[in-house]
Amino acid sequence: MDLNFRVEARCDSTHARCGRYQTAHGEVETPVFMPVGTQATVKGLAPDELEDMGASIILGNTYHLAVRPGVEVLEALGGMHTMAHWKRSILTDSGGFQVMSLAKLRKISEDGVRFRNHVDGAYVDLTPERAIRIQDAIGSDIMMCLDHLPPTTAPRAEVEEAMERTTRWAKRCLAARTRPDGALFAIIQGGIDHGLRTRHVEALCGEPFDGFAVGGLSVGESIPQMYETLEHTAPQLPADKPRYLMGVGTPIDLLEGVARGVDMFDCVMPTRNARKGSLFVDRGRRKLNLKNARFARQRGPIDPDCDCYTCRRFGAGYLRHLLKTNEFLAARLLSRHNVHLYLRLMADMRRALRAGRFAAFYRDWKSGLPG
């Protein structure tokens, strides 16, 4: 599918840019953060709440939805858009992350990956062709090629082998696609080896993919190594197609990623942290632990500068009470705050880029970091 991606503004002193693209389910403005809905739901949040916060695209996960509810049920229920009542765009991970995260439960061959699934131990075979088939059943607007993801701490030979296998699998995914309304992104691997990253860009970016992702980061390397690898890789990707940094990260990671030319991000961090009482505040520059006793009698909001539903209505003391008593409402309200903060940060960066002041925004944001 031609996403009709267009860049509308750039920052002269960085690689940052803003733009937009069109899927079958609406327009997506970039740079964009995509809340993660692994099981066809963003944990703790209803679709209308996500829409109200400005989410234009969310994620589903190919492996997990293949295990539960399964391809046949997905098709019977009309795919993720219909069954989850989500009207906007969906991107689906191919299951490549589970190749690493479920390493003890899988076996890799040239054909694909065989998992002993984490629910009942039954076999799940994930080939490039089946990854596309499952994403078709989900109804994904943007599908990801199946990739082989090793940790960045793996030996260079192992990283290179996984990269070359990812190239072969990507071409098989390209041949297997059937839906004219489904875009397909390839994933650039190569660990933190700049030479391997460049080789993989050269191997894949000449193929007719609709966008490109930088994969294999935030999986064992240091933060400086991640930024250096991204600085090297992202600007080499085609300028006329979306660039996606997979599975990253904190608010400062989003800022640094945009400065290096990334258009799309996803991460479980906002909702996962919220469920534990870990909240991003001060535009994402600080994180606080709501379980701390100092919040027990606080009537004011957790973040006075935040205009989210949670901060406008509830005091920190009440939210801490819900958290400490394991009330379901705590996870919902705290997730709403964190996701809102992430989406607001991206909107602020888009406005700064369109106004020609991203460099000042970048400096201002970082000048407020603690310590």
280 and 253 in a common domain: no
Q: Note whether residue 364 is domain-resident.
A: no
279 and 256 in a common domain: no
- Tens digits of per-residue pLDDT, 41-89? 999 999 999 999 999 999 999 999 999 999 999 999 999 999 999 999 9
Whole-number Å distance between alpha carbons of 327 and 135: 35
Q: Is the dihedral of CA 166, 170, 176, 181 positive or negative?
A: positive
Domain that holds residue 282: 275-337
Average pLDDT over residues 93-103: 88
192 and 165 in a common domain: yes
Order across the sheet with 6-10: list the strands: 6-10, 17-23, 26-30
Residue 293: its pLDDT value, please?
98
- Tens digits of per-residue pLDDT, 308-321? 999 999 999 999 99
Q: Is the distance from CB of 76 to CB of 96 less than 8 angstroms? A: no
45 and 176 in a common domain: yes
Q: Note whether residue 349 is domain-resident.
A: no
Where among 248, 267, 286 does a domain terminate?
267
Residue 330: its pLDDT value, please?
98
Q: Is the distance from CB of 334 to CB of 269 less than 8 angstroms? A: no
To which residue do tokens 């394991």 refer? 326
pLDDT tops 90 at residue 95: no
Which helix (DSSP H) or strand (DSSP E) does residue 232 occupy? Answer: helix 223-233
pLDDT tops 90 at residue 96: no
Where among 227, 247, 267 does a domain terminate?
267
296 and 212 in a common domain: no
Lookup: tokens for 341:
């903060």
234 and 95 in a common domain: yes
Which helix (DSSP H) or strand (DSSP E) does residue 90 occupy? Answer: strand 89-93
Q: Note whether residue 143 is domain-resident.
A: yes
pLDDT tops 90 at residue 1: no
Q: Note whether residue 51 is domain-resident.
A: yes
Residue 371: its pLDDT value, please?
78
In the DSSP assignment, the letter for residue 36 is: B
3-state DSSP assignment of residue 108? strand
Q: Note whether residue 41 is domain-resident.
A: yes
Q: Is the distance from CB of 171 to CB of 113 less than 8 angstroms? A: no
Q: Note whether residue 213 is domain-resident.
A: yes
Contacts of 368 (CB under 8 A, 6+ apart): 282, 283, 285
Radius of gyration of the chain (CA): 20
100 pLDDT band, cuts 50/70/90, is confident
- Tens digits of per-residue pLDDT, 173-213? 999 999 999 999 999 999 999 999 999 999 999 999 999 99
Phi, psi (deg, nearest 5) at residue 352: -65, -40
78 and 127 in a common domain: yes
CATH of the domain at 42: 3.20.20.105
Tell which wins on pLDDT, 348 or 180.
348
Residue 269: its pLDDT value, please?
98
Number of domains within the chain: 2
200 and 142 in a common domain: yes
185 and 210 in a common domain: yes
Q: Is the distance from CB of 147 to CB of 166 less than 8 angstroms? A: yes
Provide the annotated active-site residues. Answer: 93, 266
Residue 99: its pLDDT value, please?
80
Average pLDDT over residues 124-132: 96
Bridging pattern class, strands 26-30 and 89-93? unpaired
Q: Is the distance from CB of 235 to CB of 167 less than 8 angstroms? A: no
283 and 259 in a common domain: no
Q: Is the dihedral of CA 47, 64, 70, 166 positive or negative?
A: positive
Whole-number Å distance between alpha carbons of 18 and 32: 9
292 and 255 in a common domain: no
Whole-number Å distance between alpha carbons of 356 and 350: 10
- Tens digits of per-residue pLDDT, 213-261? 999 999 999 999 999 999 999 999 999 999 999 999 999 999 999 999 9
Q: Note whether residue 353 is domain-resident.
A: no
Q: Note whether residue 212 is domain-resident.
A: yes
pTM of the full structure = 0.97
Where among 267, 292, 308 does a domain terminate?
267
32 and 125 in a common domain: yes
Whole-number Å distance between alpha carbons of 2 and 25: 13
Q: How far is CA 179 from the centre of its chain?
A: 23
